Amino acid sequence: MTKFVERIVGFALRNHILVFFLTALLAAGGVISYLHTPVEAYPDVTNTRARIITQWPGRSAEEVEKFVTLPITKEMSTIPGKTDVRSISLFGLSVVTVNFRDDIDDFYAQQYAANRIHNVDLPEGADAEVEPPYGATGEIFRYVIKSKDRPIRELFSSRNG
């Protein structure tokens, strides 16, 4: 190990101009990188994606998968710039997520998914929507307000009034 360090130090002393040039190049690269690094309070590190949520009330997960999820997945598989398409089918609900490359803009992804959803022949009663994009703080807390004896309007009016 000592000989290795001696060789590195010897090379640096013999080629001091090359070492100085490489050091200056490294410092310049660091300054350029520092100046071009975006600073955000909550940086968005999530992938660009478009999520299609379809409700088809009263249908089993198998029916939702066959008549809603598969046709939407097939249509979304042809979008340029996508990396993968994932889906979840539940009772009365289908969620298809289309992930895109990092260089794809959120607006582009949402617009392409919204345009392609019109090409899918969905069964009657199925309602498909493209989820709006959200940043790093978009999905922090989900909650449900419900009551056994009061309608939802009364729950909101009692909180606000």
pLDDT of residue 139: 56
Tokens 């493209």 map to which residue? 130
Which residues of the chain are modeled with pLDDT < 70? 43-44, 135-143, 156-161
CA distance 139 to 151: 26
Question: pTM, whole model, 2 decimals?
Answer: 0.61
What confidence score (pLDDT) does residue 3 get? 93
- 6 to each of 3, 12, 13, 54, 134, how far by Cα in Å? 5, 10, 11, 68, 55
Q: CB-based contacts of 59: which residues, under 8 Å, 6+ apart?
A: 67, 91, 92
Q: What is the pLDDT, as a whole number, of residue 142?
A: 61
Q: Write the burial class of residue 50 (CB in 10 Å: 0-12 exposed, 13-18 middle, 19+ buried).
A: buried
The predicted pLDDT at position 48 comes to 87
